[in-house]
Amino acid sequence: MNEINDFKASVRAWLEANCPPSMRTPPPEGEMVLAGSRLTFTQPDQQLWFERMRDQGWFAPDWPREYGGGGLDARQTRVLESELARLKCRAPMVNLGIWMIGPVLLEFGSDEQKARHLPGMARGEVAWCQGFSEPGAGSDLAGLSCRAEHDGDDYVVNGSKIWTSYADRSDWMYALVRTDPTAGKHAGISMLLIDMASAGVSTRPIELISGKSHFCQVFFDNVRVPVANLVGAEGEGWMLAKALLAHERRAMSKFGDNNVPGVDFLDLARRLVAQADPDSRAVLTDRVAACAMDEHAYKLMLERTHEAGGAGQDVSALVATFKYLHSEQNKTRYRTLTALAGTDALGWEGEGYDEELLKLARQWLNAYTYTVAGGTSEIQLNILARRVLGLPDSGG
Amino acid sequence: MNEINDFKASVRAWLEANCPPSMRTPPPEGEMVLAGSRLTFTQPDQQLWFERMRDQGWFAPDWPREYGGGGLDARQTRVLESELARLKCRAPMVNLGIWMIGPVLLEFGSDEQKARHLPGMARGEVAWCQGFSEPGAGSDLAGLSCRAEHDGDDYVVNGSKIWTSYADRSDWMYALVRTDPTAGKHAGISMLLIDMASAGVSTRPIELISGKSHFCQVFFDNVRVPVANLVGAEGEGWMLAKALLAHERRAMSKFGDNNVPGVDFLDLARRLVAQADPDSRAVLTDRVAACAMDEHAYKLMLERTHEAGGAGQDVSALVATFKYLHSEQNKTRYRTLTALAGTDALGWEGEGYDEELLKLARQWLNAYTYTVAGGTSEIQLNILARRVLGLPDSGG
Amino acid sequence: MRFVLNEDQNMLRESAADFFAGRLPLAHQRKLKAQGLTHDADAWREMAELGWNAIALPEAVGGVPFDRSGVALVLAEAARTLAATPLFASNLLAAGLIEAAGSDAQKRDWLPALAAGDKLGALALDERARHDPTRIATRATREADGWRINGAKCAVVDGEFADLLLVVARDADTQDTLLFVLDAHTAGVSCQPLSQIDAQPMARVRLDGVKADEAALLARGAAADAALNTVLERARIALAAQLQAISRVLFDTTLAYLKQREQYGRKIGAFQALQHRMARLFTRIELAESCVQAAVAALDTDADLALPAALAKGMAGETALAVADEAVQLHGGIGVTDELDVGLFLKRVQVLEALLGDSVYQRARYARLIGVVA
Amino acid sequence: MRFVLNEDQNMLRESAADFFAGRLPLAHQRKLKAQGLTHDADAWREMAELGWNAIALPEAVGGVPFDRSGVALVLAEAARTLAATPLFASNLLAAGLIEAAGSDAQKRDWLPALAAGDKLGALALDERARHDPTRIATRATREADGWRINGAKCAVVDGEFADLLLVVARDADTQDTLLFVLDAHTAGVSCQPLSQIDAQPMARVRLDGVKADEAALLARGAAADAALNTVLERARIALAAQLQAISRVLFDTTLAYLKQREQYGRKIGAFQALQHRMARLFTRIELAESCVQAAVAALDTDADLALPAALAKGMAGETALAVADEAVQLHGGIGVTDELDVGLFLKRVQVLEALLGDSVYQRARYARLIGVVA
């Protein structure tokens, strides 16, 4: 116990000394540092914080030091995380490599793959993106049709991936591809690491109803990928993807909402309620209160999950509600504000609207994305009904 | 055209002369005259109106005169109905015979069955009840298990029927029974006419959450039913039931809500809103308005259906929404009033509550019955989705 | 017959449908938007040539003898391709107010140009983000030779293209409502066009010491209130008809998608949870449709429009919001992309809902009209 | 630890669960009702012997040193079998008020009998069908040797069995809130027991020129308001715990039914539309559970209870209403029969929801507490 307390003290001291005060506030929109070969910083503190954490190996605190990690054990890692949270330190960078494919490579990758890819991730020097979803497959991930045909020492990849965040700024992609069209739906899938600089790769940003987005569609036209870039064995892609998605949920919960700064719900609601027409004010206030109570309840549920989980209770049923509740509550909150704001909520850009209200309109439209992306609300309800409530799976 | 106008004039004159003024108002609760062998009247005008209409043959205006009907053609029947509606004449009696099994016997019954049963129906002298639903079958009507085994000139019936209105006051039942357990689910069903005075028939009224009800459960214990009482052929029961249920919808729409007098929604809502706590008043008013608007819209939809149907448009999609909307709106209205009435809505009986509020509590609880009885709301939505919207039937 | 269109109405509806499908299909609106345009000025000219700007105006001032419901029918068809038209602001609101409140001379002065589409009008009424015609801070002060007007207006539909501005103000002395008709180029009138989520024309208007002579005063006091109320009810009914038209388009589009799209080896329309959601929406749409049809029919009668208008706008607005939400969600990933038209309809629904009182406002009005509250 | 019960709490909860399952199962409540009884007097005696009436009262007056959350835990278990208990009215409200507002002498006078269960108390507060502690028309007029009280109270839980009535009145002169503790048999006090949908005890109480001496005045003005508010918040939290317990019972019952009942050849729980409804309810129940647990935990702290109480009662009430509705509907035909227990829970939910402010009221309160409105 003493050892861990010493560790905690040293972490706290280091963070106090090394995390610049300006990095202890939630980042404004678009101020996250994306890992990658073309790093950009909007201010010196950001770079300082990035480099200091990188040099500690704390981008990947629990990875072995040989791969550029921090070499911490699980307990030490938790201490570091809670100290970072306590000081409200910003995430020094965003990196799909470390959180997603990194752990999978650590567990399932070849020695060669580990040596080649992990250090770059751990130093934030390589930007990774995820190639899972496909146009036409939707929630049915395993229905993918992007083909990878064995040809000599290479696979030749043809097809398309969609909803790939920051594909246009990524160096590498981990992708699910169909290596055996004759095998079963799941059995024919493999996982490949694809260099985005390869000939035949092209990307196109997707415009959302809320405007420009970081989502892209990626096209593969006879892209040659060395067989050495196959993770695991042929046909193991689905198993690897499931292992990887378990990390996704952890990564999401670790970072919460920090990277989606919206409007301040209550602040804006108070201001708009005060301006509302007297006939509608009480009804709109009731809606605002319902949103606020739902959000309050959700926060209490997070706390309860944490506490009950810590006490050894099974909290998997609670965790299974998070994605659904979070995205649906978010949408309802923005719908409520939008109704409340009347014609002031109708601005797209330019003069005549204040900035907060322009942000509101975009965030309202953006909220529609979250009840679809990362497993639609319908999929979440299926999971709750079948896995949590134990109702029979009728395939519907 | 002249002929029908003459008919209209003569009907109008007859009704003006023969429908007592007291019979031109909606009947108070429980004041409907039930046809049957044990007629009871609560006042002389009721009896007068019953007998005059009976003697005209206008209980069954479009049946042949030989069976006690009025012998009117379809056009004349419509004229009679619209004149009755115009004068707001009460239905002179309630009779499941005339509306339901009567038309089926007219079309599918043997000459002997017609001669034996139709005149009594047309004179309101025989009370009929319907034996379709069974405990355990629920919405899945064809899943019935009440058995009728051929034995000499009789069927021997064993089993039970549920949700039979007024079974305890009925003379006859038309029932669906399973005559062939080895045939398919639908093919093994037949329709029998069962004398409720037969040995082995017993009835038990069902108590609802809202209190006593006219629903009964009926038990058959080796009840002998002559083979002559089989309608159509063995195995035709399902077809006959479908034909009969088409009449149910017509009968329901003809009589509307006359026989379910509830509380006056708006009157009560106004009074309760005025008394509500100021903090909640506007929100509750909003709910009342939503109910009132829904009801208003529903009435406009009925009018639209009538008008569009008259103009030759296909209104089947609209008609398919009626049961669902009517029962759900009814429930929402009562939920709203109940919330509005606070602790005043909690009375079961006795002193300390005014009569209107006691009625409210019962009607609120009663409203739960209508979203279940006569095809649950879920079944209605299935029908809408599949038959009206043309979505694939996945059996779910 | 409230619920079956007559022959004239059917012909107008069909010719409008043809016009928008052929001349202003949704793809055309996308092109306009890409060019930074909110409408197609040539098409507006063509609509005027079809006589639409003249519907229900007196023949003596160039009107065509078509019932007022005609404007709602054309606007509903326009909504199906998200086409901007001048009819709402110029015919229903501006010309409608002049016709309802103006003197014979004023009608002769202003209506022929509006009926012919040579000039366009707009109504500058609301001053707050949530519609509230009772809270007017714009003041008109009487001067020797007329009036001096000061105020700021928001949500002026077509404001930047209007030649005529109908302005609602209060008499600085008596607090009476005053209705002015102003040349939009009068000194002191300034107009700020807005870039709105639906890419259709909308502006803020400022009136800084605007000078108006007596001839510019259409009506005052009770007469002004009555004319304004009537015209606003008509406009709410027209908005309801547009919302309802969009509900239909979105519902049909979504239904078709559910029948075609496959997931997990079956049509997603076979999933019962989605079926029930669609079935419920269908019942809401048909309820709203009944209200909208009744309200549109009431446009051609002398009936008080307050109740039908509150009912129709409230029901159609709430329904359209729900349908648009579900349309986006049920289209899944592509539903949230700009590539699909669904998002464009969602944005337009939000605009139509906010104009002249949203569903919450209409329900409060309805409650008052039926006496639930005093 | 707000969300994990401690050992004492767990033991109490379990022994309460055993007591109600064994001594007052739901079937027993049906028998009482058939006999026209609202509660089992012997069982109430036994509860007192278990020390439940004494929870969280000072040991000096016979209390047991158990945290106040204990009462909420016992009440929640009672709700699972719909058992009536004296704890809500007598411990939480009546004893709670005396403890919070009374002088030492008053505590000594009244609390030992309440703690022992030898006497029962009740609170006569509300005067209108919808809870509103600000609208008190009951007036106390000062006289030479005390007070004269006139008024009429509704929704007095356990009123007809109370030996002590805590009465909220206003000073006829100053309009200050006054809190009295009266012997229920004082002349001028009359009590009308009500037959309520849930068959549990409820009464109206009239106070016709009731004479009270100075010793009967517990507190006045700000002190009375503060004590009353505190006790009402505790009571709301206890109501929320009961509502939540019923939500759980109904949800579990319905879920089990869906897994067992077959229609059209399959378990009805396989129908996706029902699955999604159950899944949504599940998320509501877990949200409400989190609020109720936090509020129950707050009972044992010095924290201000207003926000947790408004949140817990609002969320638990709304959720329970929704769960009860769905429980009846998803049970189909048998769901609406008296034979099934579901309907009994539905009725009890409506009672608990209405007491001390329903969800609408709680949301309005919550909005004020977080400053959405002034």
Encode pLDDT of A104-162 as tens digits: 999 999 999 999 999 999 999 999 999 999 987 777 888 899 999 999 999 999 999 99
Same domain, C138 and C201: yes
Spatial separation of the C-alpha atoms in residues C77 and B172, rounded to whole Å = 57
Q: Give the pLDDT of residue B256.
A: 40
Chain A neighbours (≥3 Cβ pairs under 8 A) are: B, C, D
- Whether B396 maps to a domain, the answer reads no
Q: Give the pLDDT of residue A252.
A: 57
- Whether A245 maps to a domain, the answer reads no
- Whether C73 maps to a domain, the answer reads no
Same domain, C175 and C191: yes
Catalytic residue among A248, A303, A355, A378: A248
Same domain, C322 and C256: yes
Residues of chain B neighbouring C282 (CB-CB closer than 8 A): 317, 321, 384, 388-389
- Whether B43 maps to a domain, the answer reads yes
* A18-51 pLDDT, tens digit each: 999 999 987 776 678 888 888 889 889 999 999 9
- What's the CATH code of the domain at C214? 2.40.110.10
The mean pLDDT value of chain A amounts to: 91
Residues of chain D neighbouring A286 (CB-CB closer than 8 A): 360, 363-364, 367
Residue C307 has pLDDT above 70, yes or no: yes
Same domain, D266 and D358: yes
Residue C351 has pLDDT above 70, yes or no: yes
Interchain CB contact of C326 with A (< 8 Å): no
Residues of chain A neighbouring C135 (CB-CB closer than 8 A): 277
- Whether D56 maps to a domain, the answer reads no
Q: Residue A8 sits in which domain range?
A: 2-94+110-122
Spatial separation of the C-alpha atoms in residues B288 and B332, rounded to whole Å = 10
- Whether C343 maps to a domain, the answer reads yes
Domain closes at, from D189, D221, D253: D221
Note the Cα A196 to chain centre separation in Å: 20
Residue A256 has pLDDT above 80, yes or no: no
AA identity, residue A309: G
Same domain, D305 and D346: yes
Same domain, A368 and A277: yes
* B108-163 pLDDT, tens digit each: 999 999 999 999 999 999 999 999 999 887 778 888 999 999 999 999 999 999 99
Spatial separation of the C-alpha atoms in residues B170 and B37, rounded to whole Å = 8
Spatial separation of the C-alpha atoms in residues D286 and D122, rounded to whole Å = 32
Residue A255 has pLDDT above 50, yes or no: no
Q: Give the pLDDT of residue A254.
A: 45
Confidence of residue C90 (pLDDT cuts 50, 70, 90): very high
Same domain, B215 and B287: no
Q: Give the pLDDT of residue A1.
A: 61
Same domain, A165 and A60: no
Confidence of residue A3 (pLDDT cuts 50, 70, 90): confident
* Nearest to C146, CA basis, from C121, C171, C127: C171
Domain closes at, from C171, C188, C221: C221
Same domain, C194 and C251: no
Domain closes at, from A175, A207, A239: A239
- Whether B100 maps to a domain, the answer reads no
Same domain, C250 and C328: yes
- Whether D40 maps to a domain, the answer reads no
Chain D neighbours (≥3 Cβ pairs under 8 A) are: A, B, C
Same domain, C210 and C136: yes
Spatial separation of the C-alpha atoms in residues D236 and D227, rounded to whole Å = 14
Q: Would you call B272 exposed, middle or buried from its count of C-beta atoms within 10 A (0-12, 13-18, 19+)?
A: buried
Question: What is the CB neighbour count within 10 angstroms for residue A145?
Answer: 14
Residue of C258, C290, C315 lying closest to B304 (CB–CB):
C290
Same domain, B377 and B309: yes
Q: Residue D248 sits in which domain range?
A: 223-369
At C325, phi and psi to the nearest 5?
A: -55, -50
Q: How many angstroms away from the CA of A267 is the closest CA of chain D?
A: 9
- Whether D54 maps to a domain, the answer reads no
| Range C304-343 burial, b when 16+ CB lie within 10 A, else e | ebbbbbbbbbbbbbbbbbbbbbbbbbbbbbbbbbbebbbb
Signed CA dihedral, D329, D334, D337, D340: sign only? negative
Interface of B with A (CB under 8 A): 281-283, 286, 394, 396
Residue C28 has pLDDT above 90, yes or no: yes
Task: Give all strands (DSSP E) within C195-279, no chain letters.
Answer: 195-196, 202-212, 217-220, 262-263, 266-267
Same domain, D237 and D362: yes
* Number of domains, chain B: 3
- Whether C311 maps to a domain, the answer reads yes
| Mean pLDDT value of segment C15-37 | 97
Residue D150 near residue D209 (C-beta atoms within 8 A): yes
- Whether B257 maps to a domain, the answer reads no
Q: Give the pLDDT of residue B255.
A: 43
Residue B65 near residue B58 (C-beta atoms within 8 A): no
Low-confidence residues of chain B, pLDDT below 50?
Answer: 254-261
Q: Give the pLDDT of residue B239.
A: 94
* Number of domains, chain C: 2
| Mean pLDDT value of segment C178-185 | 97
* D136-195 pLDDT, tens digit each: 999 999 999 999 999 999 999 999 999 999 999 999 999 999 999 999 999 999 999 999
- Whether A246 maps to a domain, the answer reads no
Q: Give the pLDDT of residue A105.
A: 95
| Mean pLDDT value of segment D224-250 | 98
- What's the CATH code of the domain at D271? 1.20.140.10
- Whether B248 maps to a domain, the answer reads no
Interchain CB contact of C271 with B (< 8 Å): yes
- What's the CATH code of the domain at A328? 1.20.140.10
- Whether D49 maps to a domain, the answer reads no
Spatial separation of the C-alpha atoms in residues C18 and C6, rounded to whole Å = 18
Spatial separation of the C-alpha atoms in residues C201 and C192, rounded to whole Å = 11
Q: Give the pLDDT of residue B259.
A: 37
Same domain, A384 and A269: yes
Confidence of residue A393 (pLDDT cuts 50, 70, 90): confident
Q: Give the pLDDT of residue A143.
A: 87
Task: Indicate the pTM of the whole model.
Answer: 0.92
Same domain, A117 and A190: no
Residues of chain A neighbouring D319 (CB-CB closer than 8 A): none
Residues of chain C neighbouring A290 (CB-CB closer than 8 A): none
- What's the CATH code of the domain at B7? 1.10.540.10
* D23-74 pLDDT, tens digit each: 999 999 999 999 999 999 999 999 999 999 999 999 999 999 999 999 999 9
Contacts of D241 (CB under 8 A, 6+ apart): D72, D73, D75, D76, D79, D292, D295, D296, D312, D316
Same domain, B117 and B170: no
Same domain, C240 and C250: yes
The mean pLDDT value of chain D amounts to: 97
- Whether C244 maps to a domain, the answer reads yes
Interchain CB contact of C374 with A (< 8 Å): no
Domain closes at, from C192, C221, C250: C221
Same domain, D275 and D192: no
Interchain CB contact of B350 with D (< 8 Å): yes
Residue of D255, D290, D366 lying closest to A304 (CB–CB):
D290
- Whether B355 maps to a domain, the answer reads yes
Same domain, D215 and D338: no
Same domain, B115 and B16: yes
Residue A250 has pLDDT above 70, yes or no: no
Percent of chain D with pLDDT strictly greater than 90: 97
Q: Give the pLDDT of residue A32.
A: 80
The residue among D333 and C248 whose pLDDT is bigger is C248
Interchain CB contact of D363 with B (< 8 Å): yes
Q: Name B191's bridge partners.
A: B176, B231
Active site residues of B: 248
